[in-house]
Structure 1
């Protein structure tokens, strides 16, 4: 699937966690490495990773990964998503946006999004907690909208607005999001 570029958003400060949560280890690998490994197992191009607050420690821990620092990461997830979109090659057909702090999302979950995208080539997003969210696949037709995002809402307005070109895929695993030490503890206890 060389026409779909995975982008991992990993730029936040982890302020509610109090440390770089993407360096947490589960099964001997960091959360970030787990995310990368899931994507690589699906025969996708090497993920582009948008880093920010913890750029240097992430590079030190993962010297072989394609980490690109969004120096405007403080502006929020929208800024990091826009930065990632602006890094794409001109022939890229779609961007698969994933968050490194959703550790319960599996390769099979991502595969279901990819299979749906192949069928319709529209926006394909996860559906959990009665709303649309990421992981999500955005076709080239919306890159211009994504490339100017700012603030902490990411693509929320685009995904949750009244559009007829969005296909939602139920993805209950996406509800697990590591934001606090308690979230991490709960995730570990559920495994």
Structure 2
């Protein structure tokens, strides 16, 4: 495969995935909270990056086609995912309505143990249909435009985007720590997340029928 074509495939994978990653979802919100608290940031970033690598590779190797040919899998995934997103929305809404002191304390607390943190981010990643849709279906489909020889270069670019994004957010969010020291910032973030999760959950639920 010519070097120029390989580079184009890498750049395409990087650009498409980066555009998807910039949306404020459950993954990003969780990483922001841990980054501001300086708790297990590397662990969370590594799990996100590794998960993306597995899911993107699955999409490129045909997972998207398998799901497309088995409608019941899509329905089951949608129902489980919608339930998860509704639950996450409820938790975000609850945090948004907490007192100022409780909200302010989240900037320095984060989740406690590494085990709890790992379980939480793993669930947020693997039970979130939005993440699965983007990594498996959208990126898996986009990779086909690069042809058989260029798909894995596309995958390399996409995984590189995930690596850059999650590390940058996790370790760079500290620069915004003064803003997040204000309770109203957390209220806006949590409120926006709750609304977004409700919308996504409803869309996913409706897609099951």
Calculate the TM-score normalised by the size of structure 2: 0.27
Bigger Rg, which one: 2
More strand by percentage: 1
Calculate the TM-score normalised by the size of structure 1: 0.28
Structure with larger RCO (C-alpha < 8 A, sep 6+): 2
More helix by percentage: 2
